[in-house]
């Protein structure tokens, strides 16, 4: 007989809460559920904040959040699920950084919290009350943690870096147009 300890219960609660919020957040993007704007509306927003192409960016973010969140809640493929969700939240945080930390001011607090919780779960593992444990940790091997986090960090850095370049270029072009107006 197996007795579950408080660590297993704590990981279950953290997985269910974090994963559920992430899955719902992603479903807003993918399906327009819970007051979301779906792929089209989210794609337009993504394009407006520098993630291009917008529709592909919305799909990628929605899949990482919905899929990563659902898998985290189940405790299945925990390293990949946590890394995917953390990467999506890093991309979201990049948009909010200019507004400071606190969410009430439009800052990155919310995205950072979800991303850190997802990354923490990827590192800590799902606990014994999980599908990963039930299937013998086939999708939760030790080597998968640094691999998933490393690949996600590289892809996220490239995507956020490209966005940053687009945002700067747009700002410089707008400043140049404004300067031209003053010269006329």
Dihedral sign of CA atoms 50, 169, 103, 101 in order: positive
pLDDT tens string, the chain, 184 residues long: the values are 467 799 999 999 999 999 999 999 999 999 999 999 999 999 999 999 999 999 999 999 999 999 999 999 999 999 999 999 999 999 999 999 999 999 999 999 999 999 999 999 999 999 999 999 999 999 999 999 999 999 999 999 999 999 999 999 988 888 887 765 555 5
Task: Specify the pTM.
Answer: 0.90
Which residue's entry shows tokens 């189940």? Answer: 74
Closest CA to 150 of 121, 119, 125, 124: 119
């Amino acid at each position: 007989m197996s007795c579950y300890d408080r660590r297993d219960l704590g990981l279950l609660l953290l997985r269910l809460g974090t994963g559920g919020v992430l899955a719902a957040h992603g479903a807003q993007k993918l399906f327009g559920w819970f007051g979301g704007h779906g792929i089209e509306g989210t794609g337009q927003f993504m394009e407006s904040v520098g993630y291009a192409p917008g529709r592909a960016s919305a799909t990628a973010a929605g899949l990482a959040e919905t899929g990563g969140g659902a898998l985290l809640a189940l405790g299945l493929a925990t390293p990949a699920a946590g890394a995917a969700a953390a990467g999506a939240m890093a991309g979201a945080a990049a948009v909010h950084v200019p507004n400071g930390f606190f969410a009430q001011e439009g800052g990155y607090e919310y995205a950072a919290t979800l991303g850190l919780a997802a990354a923490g779960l990827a590192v800590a593992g799902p606990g014994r009350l999980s599908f990963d444990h039930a299937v013998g940790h086939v999708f939760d091997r030790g080597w998968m943690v640094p691999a998933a986090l490393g690949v996600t960090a590289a892809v996220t850095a490239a995507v956020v870096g490209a966005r940053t370049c687009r945002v700067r270029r747009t700002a410089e072009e707008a400043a140049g147009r404004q300067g031209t107006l003053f010269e006329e």
